[in-house]
């Protein structure tokens, strides 16, 4: 709730709950007993504190302007209150006025949002798993049979005194059970909300069995009309129905109702991602409490701007990040956005994609850290990552952002042909230093370094060969060159050897490209990833088209990353099938050689190459003819058992 009138309504409710004309109470009384303030001064817990912003109710508080901060300081002085607290401020907001006035930030979890991007059951199945989704559906259907579910607009609560009394009583009992210092939903607070600016947009939800109230909740429609704030829930713990997960069941019902009403999100309030993900949340905006008190010193320095990379091309140094992307860290789900010049009457497809991908970047990094060979990626943060429209788009971005006409690009054939293609399009001289060795896995490091290229692009595992490069040779190029080294790891998940992502934080000239098209099975989502030091990411962002990573792609990526178990199982299956096919093909009479592979494909040199390729074509089987790169060869992707056996049968027919 970002509107001043909404903030004032919540402050009035807090004042009523505290029994005062002003929202003043100690952090302990306000229920802030989690130890975050005692790290500064234990006495801070007991001091009278003026609460600004949206009080301690679930919506985040907008970061106050310098004028608002001055007003808070004057109010505190007039009241004789030694401390001021502005709770739940988005870390993405501009908090310079708070910091300048001596406020200190204290981490306060994240603002958690469920984005309703499609059918509720489908999105929950993707986000929390099929078993959890089915359990919620069964619990919801069971509750609908046993309990009534009534909705009462808060402005009409006077006509339902029984609901008001039950709401207050269940919240009183909840506060006692949790040892809270005060009940934010006392009778006085509820009456203040019912008489305030939020009353017409707020509904009380009541579940009861006969005349007995089992559960109550409060939701408020956002001022932009696009979403719903879930403010609170309380359950009668003595009722038999409370033995199930009524809290999650009620949320499931709220999601269904919100979706049917054409709403696009449900706000679950502040919390931790690990707790809210199982409820379907997919957007997490970090929050801070800001506290001002005598004797407090800010222990955290403001984030230091790393500056643009020394490798940025000269034109890139003269331009900023494109306009829309400059505000990428500002969530817009709860704003009235009149900046995009789009058609407001044709649904969510008329909205531009979300640009704040920090949470998704963190999710990606935490997910890959669990993969074999990725255990040392913990030094990477969202600042080290850029999402692109596929890793091929990442190649074009980095060449445009980091190389100027006349500066050379080194490639190591046989390799992915689009590296050279993009270099030629950008009029960058091309240096080819072929791979060596029987398995085409050795770099000619002396020739690469002698060429002194601006950018060296390595593919590892290599496409189309499938082999891994010698790590010592790769590191020799990274440390020996004056230019940049790009390592395309599109297939690294299929390898048991380490990723080079672990080295990104140590070398300012290293870029690692990844994709979710291969092992992660999201080729249609077009999601590439560039991992590099923040100064390079900044340069890439200045070249990138701001809205290339669509909301649909972001949703698909998030769902796949948070359900990685299925992906890992499929990777194991592909490896096993790859090894089976390699053994069979190695003994097949039309095959001259099968190259070793640590990817999800096999490079095969054929006897009578053209005849075999024609036979496969006639059989309706498509493989990649890479004879123009490596004479007499084709690249065979590993399919399922049926597809692989069909290939083997077609090859036998070609004998």
Return the percentage of the chain with pLDDT > 90, whole number: 66
Lowest mean pLDDT among 30-44, 470-484, 491-505, 557-571: 30-44
Does the pLDDT of residue 96 top 60, yes or no?
yes
Answer yes or no: are the C-beta atoms of 149 and 205 closer than 8 Å. yes
Q: In which band, very low, low, confident or very high, does the pLDDT at 155 lie, cut at 50, 70 and 90?
A: very high
Strand order from edge to edge, sheet including 227-235 = 24-25, 49-51, 83-90, 283-292, 104-115, 265-271, 227-235, 212-221, 202-209, 148-153
pLDDT at 614: 94
When pLDDT is averaged across residues 555-570 and rounded to a whole number, the result is 90
Q: What is the sign, positive or negative, of the torsion defined by CA atoms of 335, 336, 339, 343?
A: positive
296 — phi, psi (to 5°)? -90, 135
Residue 431, phi then psi, degrees to nearest 5: -115, 125
CA 632/CA 626 separation, integer angstroms = 8
The region, left, alpha or beta by phi > 0 then psi within -120 to 50, assigned to residue 100 is: alpha
3-state secondary structure of 286: strand
**Interior CA angle at 334 toward 330 and 340, to 5°?**
65
Name, in order, each residue with C-beta under 8 angstroms of 130's C-beta and a sequence gap of 6 or more: none
pLDDT reading at 156 higher than 70: yes
DSSP H helical ranges for 519-608: 534-543, 551-561, 564-586
Beta bridge partners of 604: 594, 634
Q: Alpha-carbon distance 348 to 263, whole Å? A: 10
DSSP 199: G
Once rounded to an integer, what is the mean pLDDT over residues 346-364?
A: 84
Residue 186 is encoded by which pair of tokens?
């006392």
Q: Indicate if the pLDDT at residue 303 is higher than 60.
A: no
Distance between start and end Cα atoms, the chain: 72
Residue pair 288/107 in contact (Cβ under 8 Å)? The answer is yes
- Span 205-238, pLDDT tens digits: 999 988 899 999 999 999 989 999 999 999 998 8
Task: Look at residue 38 in the predicted model and tell me its pLDDT.
Answer: 56
Spatial separation of the C-alpha atoms in residues 220 and 233, rounded to whole Å: 13
Number of residues that make up the chain: 655
Q: What pTM does this model have?
A: 0.83
Classify the C-alpha dihedral 433-436-440-443 as positive or negative: negative
**Element containing residue 647 per DSSP (H, E):** helix 641-653
Q: How far is Cα 581 from Cα 590, in angstroms, rounded to an integer?
A: 14
Number of other CB atoms surrounding residue 488 within 10 Å? 26
Beta-sheet pairing, 202-209 with 212-221: antiparallel
Report how far residue 13's alpha carbon sits from residue 135's, in angstroms, rounded to the nearest whole number: 36
Residue 93: pLDDT over 60:
yes
What tens digit of pLDDT does each residue of 17-50 get?
888 899 998 887 777 755 555 565 677 778 899 9
User: pLDDT category, 617, cuts 50, 70, 90?
Assistant: very high
Q: Are 331 and 356 in contact (CB under 8 A)?
A: yes
- Do the strands 455-459 and 484-488 form a parallel or antiparallel pair, or are they unpaired? parallel
Q: Write the pLDDT tens digit of every residue in 321-341.
A: 887 777 777 788 888 888 888
Per-position b or e across 11-27, b if 16+ CB within 10 A of its CB: bbbbbbbbeeebbbbbb
Kindly give the residue spans of alpha helices, DSSP state H, lying in 261-406: 273-276, 314-317, 323-326, 358-368, 391-402
- What residues contact residue 339 under an 8 Å CB cut-off, 6+ apart? none
Say whether 192 sits in a helix, a strand or coil: helix
Average pLDDT of the chain to the nearest whole number: 90
Distance of alpha carbon 354 from alpha carbon 201, whole angstroms: 26
Q: What pLDDT score was predicted for residue 117?
A: 83
d(C-alpha 89, C-alpha 288), whole Å: 5
- pLDDT given at position 60: 83
What's the pLDDT tens digit per position in 618-634?
Answer: 999 999 999 999 999 99
- The one-character DSSP state at 596 is -
264 φ/ψ angles, rounded to the nearest 5 degrees: -115, -10
| DSSP letter for each residue of 121-175 | HHHHHHHH-HHHHHHHHHHHHHHHHHSEEEEEEGGGGGG-HHHHHHHHHHHHHHH
Between CA 531 and CA 171 the distance in angstroms is 48
What integer pLDDT is reported at residue 304 of this predicted model?
53
d(CA 264, CA 116): 5
97, 174, 479, 531 from 509: Cα distances, Å: 37, 56, 9, 11
Contacts 24+ apart (CB under 8 A), 545-549: 545/322, 546/322, 546/323, 546/324, 546/325, 546/328, 546/355, 547/324, 547/352, 547/353, 547/355, 548/388, 548/389, 548/393, 549/353, 549/357, 549/387, 549/388, 549/389
Name the pLDDT band for 371 (thresholds 50, 70, 90): confident
Residue-range domains of the chain with CATH: 4-290 (3.40.630.30), 314-327+352-562 (3.40.640.10), 574-653 (3.90.1150.10)
Give backbone dihedrals phi and psi of 276, rounded to 5 degrees, phi first.
-95, -25
* pLDDT tens by residue, 529-539: 999 999 999 99
């Amino acid at each position: 709730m970002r509107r001043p009138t909404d903030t004032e309504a919540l402050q009035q409710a807090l004042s009523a709950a505290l029994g005062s004309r002003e929202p003043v109470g100690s952090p302990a009384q306000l229920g802030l007993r989690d130890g975050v303030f005692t790290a500064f001064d234990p006495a801070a817990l007991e001091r009278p504190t003026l609460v600004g912003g949206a009080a301690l109710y679930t919506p985040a508080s907008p970061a106050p302007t310098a004028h608002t901060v001055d007003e808070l300081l004057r109010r505190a002085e007039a009241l004789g209150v030694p401390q001021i607290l502005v709770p739940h401020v988005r870390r993405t907001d501009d908090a310079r006025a708070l910091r300048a006035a001596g406020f200190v930030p204290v981490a306060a979890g994240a603002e958690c949002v469920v984005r309703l991007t499609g059918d509720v059951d489908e999105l929950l199945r993707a986000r929390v798993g099929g078993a959890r989704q089915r359990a919620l559906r069964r619990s919801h259907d069971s509750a609908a049979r046993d309990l009534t579910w009534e909705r009462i607009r808060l402005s009409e609560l006077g006509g339902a005194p029984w609901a008001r009394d039950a709401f207050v009583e269940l919240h009183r009992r909840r506060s006692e059970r949790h040892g809270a210092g005060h009940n934010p939903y006392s009778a006085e607070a509820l009456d203040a909300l019912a008489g305030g600016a939020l009353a017409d947009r707020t509904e009380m939800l009541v579940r009861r069995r006969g005349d007995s109230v089992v559960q109550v909740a409060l939701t408020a429609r956002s001022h932009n009309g696009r979403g719903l704030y879930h403010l609170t829930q309380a359950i009668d713990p003595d009722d038999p129905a409370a033995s199930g997960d009524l809290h999650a069941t009620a949320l499931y019902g709220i999601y269904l109702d919100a979706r049917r009403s054409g709403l696009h999100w449900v706000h679950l309030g502040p919390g931790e991602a690990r707790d809210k993900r199982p409820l379907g949340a997919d957007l997490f905006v970090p929050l801070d409490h800001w506290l001002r008190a005598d004797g407090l010193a800010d222990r955290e320095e403001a984030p230091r701007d790393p500056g643009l990379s020394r490798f940025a091309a000269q034109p890139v140094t003269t331009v900023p990040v494109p306009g829309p992307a400059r505000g990428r860290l500002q969530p817009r789900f709860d704003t009235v956005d009149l900046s995009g010049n789009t058609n407001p009457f044709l649904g969510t497809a008329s909205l531009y994609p979300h640009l704040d991908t920090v949470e998704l970047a963190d999710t990606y990094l935490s997910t890959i850290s669990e993969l074999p060979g990725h255990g040392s990626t913990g030094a990477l943060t969202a600042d080290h990552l850029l999402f692109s429209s596929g890793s091929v788009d990442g190649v074009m971005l980095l060449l445009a952002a980091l190389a100027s006409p006349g500066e050379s690009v080194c490639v190591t054939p046989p390799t992915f042909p689009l590296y050279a293609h993009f270099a030629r399009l950008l009029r960058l001289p091309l240096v080819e230093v072929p791979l060596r060795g029987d398995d085409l896995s050795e770099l000619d490091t002396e020739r690469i370094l002698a060429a002194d290229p601006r950018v060296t692009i390595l593919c590892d595992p290599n496409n189309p060969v499938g082999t891994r490069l010698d790590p010592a040779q790769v590191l020799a190029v990274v440390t020996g060159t004056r230019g940049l080294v790009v390592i395309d790891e599109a297939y690294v998940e299929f390898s048991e050897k380490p990723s080079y992502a672990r080295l990104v934080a140590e070398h300012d000239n290293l870029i690692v490209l990844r994709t979710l098209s291969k092992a992660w099975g999201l080729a249609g989502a077009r999601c590439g990833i560039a991992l590099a030091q923040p100064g390079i990411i900044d340069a890439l962002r200045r070249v990138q088209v701001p809205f290339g990573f669509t909301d649909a792609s972001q949703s698909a990526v998030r769902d796949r990353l948070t359900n990685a178990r299925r992906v890992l199982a499929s990777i194991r299956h592909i490896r096993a099938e790859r090894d089976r096919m390699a053994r069979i093909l190695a003994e097949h009479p039309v095959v001259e050689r099968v190259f070793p592979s640590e990817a999800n494909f096999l490079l095969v040199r054929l006897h009578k190459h053209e005849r075999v390729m024609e036979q496969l074509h006639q059989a309706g089987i498509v493989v990649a003819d890479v004879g123009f790169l490596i004479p007499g060869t084709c690249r065979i992707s590993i399919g399922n058992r049926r597809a692989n056996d069909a290939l083997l049968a077609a090859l036998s027919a070609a004998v």
